[in-house]
Structure 1
Amino acid sequence: MAEYKIILFDLDGTLSDPKEGITKSVQYALAKMGMVEPDTDRLETFIGPPLQVSFAEYYGFDEKESIRAIDFYRERFKEKGMFENVLYPNISFLLEALEESGFVLVVATSKPTVFAEELIKYFELEKYFQLIVGSDLDGTRSSKTEIIQYILDKYTDYKHSNFVMIGDRKHDIIGAKNIGIDSIGVTYGYGSQEEIRGAEPTYIVSSVDHLIGLLLGSRV
């Protein structure tokens, strides 16, 4: 295994399970746009990718419609949806063990940075992360490729081989590949086995415990 020094974590579907908050906020936005979606399970595909991508891909919204839908989404998300969210088991233990072992930990999410920062504080995880990087509220810097490159530009004293991106969707793996760093695909989140395997990450893990074993080995 490579000698990683800086570990990039996706947020939704990797550190926490945000299903209730995200799907209900998307459901709210669709209703405001005149579309009824009674089954929130069908909205799980919105967990992970940038919202503008998902509204366009799954509901055919053009750019203006996507912007309106995102504004509606944020109405509910800021008030309630952000906190309809739970950490996956053993995440706090993993982060504490990684920090104690000398790793630099960074959040790399397509969620707007302001929301990601608030969530990390809500979960009381801010002491573990040196940096939290997400998208801008205006929709810029929303792709994982841009987010990962932004992070690498902050750590120019390190080689690409010192970084690894951990995430549950193909966008995390593709972003890492585009920048030239390793990746770990987790299958306990919202990307299917087929999606993760198809993106060809450096490693695949099926649980947080498996991730602990891969990153820390005999150190825990």
Structure 2
Amino acid sequence: MNHYHVILFDLDGTLTDPKAGITRCVQYALENMGIIEPDLDQLEGFIGPPLQESFSTMYAFDADQTSQAVAYYRERFQTTGMYENELYPLIPELLAELKERGKVLAVATSKPTVFSEKILQHFHLDAYFDVVVGSNLDGTRSAKAEIIQTILDQYPEYDRQHFVMIGDRKHDLIGANRTGIDAIGVTYGYGSIEELRSENPAHIVHSVEQLMHLLAEAAPKGLETQRGQ
């Protein structure tokens, strides 16, 4: 959309497919906590939300157990897991086109900033982004609304209507709603269509190609592109 000047992207499930790395690191953490989970598909719920929230809600860990589980997770993630990751097709082309159009690009992720920056560098995407904001290693600034607001504060010259948040989970859309900016939900990541629709995004798309078209062309608010078209 031409009126969006500052475009915020979630990282996991939006720019990259991190399933192998995240689920294997969660599996490693759980094993060290005495829980065996052989099915990585059962751990997809960890993709997107803050780790602290997921360990607490999915395994009923208390604060100390959650901190220990996160520490185990990061043992594997910082050496191996962050690189068990794949770019979604056409992401570099999308980012290059947006930069050519003069857009300000940002990453807004619940993943710690230090890891997010390394992942972007690994995939040679870092040059496209003007700012990368994630959580802190101590678990603070993990709520998506707080992360988005941090980015908004860096661009006071733009009105809220000039920002848009793109993500695959409800946390991305909730954060956009709470900060008063539009959101685009993408279904090629890990959130269901029902999860995305429930947060009333301005648009829903089903592929990076459709996202490219939407951001390049004027489209009425509320458009939902049909899968495969």
What does residue 132 of structure 1 align with?
A: 132
**Cα drift, residue 75 of structure 1:** 0.2
2:2–2:216 Cα contact (<8 Å) kept: no
**Is structure 2 residue 18 aligned with structure 1 residue 21?**
no
> Tell me, which stretches of 5 or more residues in structure 1 are unaligned?
none
1:2–1:161 Cα contact (<8 Å) kept: no
**Cα drift, residue 30 of structure 1:** 0.3
**Cα drift, residue 64 of structure 1:** 1.0
TM-superposition CA deviations, 1:111-151 (whole Å, max 9, x none): 00000000000000111000010000000000100000010
CA distance in 1, matches of 2:200, 2:187: 13
If the length of structure 1 is used for normalisation, what is the TM-score?
0.98
**Cα drift, residue 2 of structure 1:** 6.5
- Size of the aligned set, in residue pairs, is 218
CA distance in 2, matches of 1:9, 1:100: 17
2:29–2:70 Cα contact (<8 Å) kept: yes
Query: What is the identity, as a one-letter code, of the residue corresponding to 1:11?
Result: L
**Cα drift, residue 217 of structure 1:** 2.7
What does residue 224 of structure 2 align with?
A: none
2:2–2:215 Cα contact (<8 Å) kept: no
Q: Identity percentage over the alignment? A: 61
What does residue 98 of structure 1 align with?
A: 98
> Tell me, which stretches of 5 or more residues in structure 2 are unaligned?
219-229
**Is structure 2 residue 196 aligned with structure 1 residue 205?**
no
Give the structure with the larger helix fraction: 1
SS in 2 for 1:199: coil
What does residue 41 of structure 1 align with?
A: 41
TM-superposition CA deviations, 1:162-186 (whole Å, max 9, x none): 1000000000000000000000000
What does residue 196 of structure 2 align with?
A: 196
CA distance in 1, matches of 2:193, 2:61: 28
SS in 2 for 1:191: coil
Regions of 4+ moved over 6 Å: none
Matches within 5 A, 1:35-184: 35-184=35-184
What does residue 4 of structure 1 align with?
A: 4
If the length of structure 2 is used for normalisation, what is the TM-score?
0.94
